[in-house]
């Protein structure tokens, strides 16, 4: 039975292409945002999609078969007459894990708001508005989760307590900013973001038993 090297595998090629596209998107979002129009990110994504499709098509037409299954004990004469291509063990967990980590998780996260089409906050008021909206969203989600009995009363009370603290910090940050101390105000915003992130993690791991 013939084998193909792991780097000729369509699965690997497509995943690598997707990772490269995400990398280009991240570089675009990180370094050249503002220098070119906001449509550059969308065009990059579109180009990446087309590139991935083309590579997939080429690999398919090149004759590399992703997986060929042969039934044990089948007609061996015919099986020998038709050479099969088998992937030579490219599906190594570490390689796939690395590709997944790069293409699916890390790079889109690094792209952040740009990948979602959200405007990047550039001023204190904009960062304040985003943080306030996240506080509100968590309150709303906690209420809905409580009403649908996905979390318990204690979890909801914890969410209310932490979101109230976040709101107090936000109000305080705004007052400090208006008083002319932007550094402290920004520090408070960062603190709010950390509290809200911790609360999200907490809620994500909770469920009513």
- The tokens of 145 are what? 């989760």
**Angle, in degrees to the nearest 10, between helices 39-61 and 10-31:** 170
DSSP string over 156-185: HHHHHHHHHHHHHHHHHHHHHHHTT-HHHH
Binding site for another protein (CB under 8 A): 113, 116-119, 121, 123, 125-126, 128-130, 132-147, 150-151, 153, 156-157, 159-160, 163-164, 167, 200, 203-208
Nearest distance, CB of residue 19 and another protein, angstroms:
23
Residue-wise burial string across 59-86, b where 16 or more C-beta atoms lie within 10 A, e elsewhere: beeeebeeeeeeeeeeeeeeeeeeeebe
Nearest distance, CB of residue 21 and another protein, angstroms:
22
Nearest distance, CB of residue 139 and another protein, angstroms:
4
When the beta carbons of 98 and 129 are compared against another protein, the nearer one is 129
Residue-wise burial string across 18-33, b where 16 or more C-beta atoms lie within 10 A, e elsewhere: bbbbbbbbbebbeeee
Closest CA to 165 of 125, 138, 126, 203: 138
Nearest distance, CB of residue 181 and another protein, angstroms:
18
When the beta carbons of 45 and 200 are compared against another protein, the nearer one is 200
When the beta carbons of 16 and 203 are compared against another protein, the nearer one is 203
Helix (H, G, I), strand (E, B) or coil at 35: coil
Q: In the block, which residue shows the tokens 């009363």?
A: 153
When the beta carbons of 75 and 171 are compared against another protein, the nearer one is 171
Nearest distance, CB of residue 121 and another protein, angstroms:
7
When the beta carbons of 17 and 114 are compared against another protein, the nearer one is 114
């Amino acid at each position: 039975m013939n084998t193909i090297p792991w780097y000729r595998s369509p699965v690997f090629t497509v995943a690598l292409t997707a990772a490269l596209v995400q990398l280009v998107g991240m570089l675009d979002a990180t370094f050249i945002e503002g220098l070119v129009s906001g449509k550059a990110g969308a065009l990059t994504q579109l180009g990446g999609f087309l590139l991935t499709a083309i590579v997939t098509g080429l690999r398919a037409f090149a004759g590399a078969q992703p997986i060929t299954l042969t039934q044990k004990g089948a007609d061996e004469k015919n099986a020998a007459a038709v050479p099969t291509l088998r992937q030579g063990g490219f599906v190594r967990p570490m390689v796939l894990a690395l590709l997944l980590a790069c293409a699916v998780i890390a790079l889109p996260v690094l792209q952040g708001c740009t990948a979602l089409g959200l405007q990047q906050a550039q001023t204190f008021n904009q960062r304040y508005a985003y943080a306030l909206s996240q506080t509100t969203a968590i309150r709303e989600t906690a209420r809905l989760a409580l009403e649908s009995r996905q979390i318990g009363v204690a979890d909801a009370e914890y969410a209310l307590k932490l979101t109230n603290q976040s709101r107090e910090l936000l109000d305080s940050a705004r007052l400090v900013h208006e008083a002319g101390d932007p550094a402290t105000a920004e520090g408070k915003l960062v603190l709010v973001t950390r509290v809200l992130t911790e609360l999200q993690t907490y809620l994500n791991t909770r469920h009513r038993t």
